[in-house]
Amino acid sequence: MRISGYAVLWSKVFGFVDTITGLGLIFLPAFTLGLMGLDSADYSLSLVMFIGAFVLGVGSLYFMGLLLSRREKSLVALRHVWLATGWVRICVAIVTGALIARGGLDIRWVSVPLTDALVGGVQLSVVLWGRFTCHE
C-alpha cells in the first residue's frame, strides 16, 4: 500500500474517532467524560460541549478532505486537511500538556496531548517531508 492508501485509512480512522468523540462531548458530555475516567462534576459541561465542537470540527475535516479528494480524483485536498489538522493537534498537545504539567488539568487528561502529539506529528512529518503523494 502506497502512502496515499495509508493516508486514506488513517483519515477514516481518526476522522471517525474525533467525530464520534466530538458528538459525545456535545450531546453526552457527562457520559463521554466518564469514558475518559473523569468526573463530570469537576467540569463545566457548557465548556466541555464547546470543546466538543472543536473536536467534531477536526474529525469532520478529515471526511471533507476525503470527499473532495474522491470527487477531484486527487489527494491534494486531503493533504491540506492533514496539514491543518496536524497543526491544530500539535497546538492542542502543547497547551493540554502544559496545563497537565502545571496542575491546571487532571493527569487523566494525558491521553489528549499524547494522542494529539503523535497523530499531529505523524501528519505534519509526512506532509512537510514531501511523503504525501497526491496522485496514484
**pTM for the full predicted model:** 0.91
Domains held by the chain: number: 1
Q: Is 34 part of a structural domain of the chain?
A: yes
| Contact partners, residue 76, CB within 8 Å, separation at least 6 | 69, 134
- Whether residue 80 has pLDDT greater than 90: yes
Q: Is 136 part of a structural domain of the chain?
A: no
Q: Is 110 part of a structural domain of the chain?
A: yes
What pLDDT shows up at residue 1? 53
Q: Is 57 part of a structural domain of the chain?
A: yes
Q: Is 119 part of a structural domain of the chain?
A: yes
Q: Is 24 part of a structural domain of the chain?
A: yes
What pLDDT shows up at residue 136? 52
Q: Is 50 part of a structural domain of the chain?
A: yes
Q: Which residue range(s) make up the domain with 102?
A: 3-128
What pLDDT shows up at residue 115? 98
Write out pLDDT tens, residues 106-122. 999 999 999 999 999 99
Cell of 106: 487532571
Q: Please, are residues 30 and 88 in contact by the beta-carbon 8 Å criterion?
A: no
Q: Is 134 part of a structural domain of the chain?
A: no
Write out pLDDT tens, residues 31-73. 999 999 999 999 999 999 999 999 999 999 999 999 999 999 9
* 96, 101, 103, 105: CA torsion to nearest 10: 20
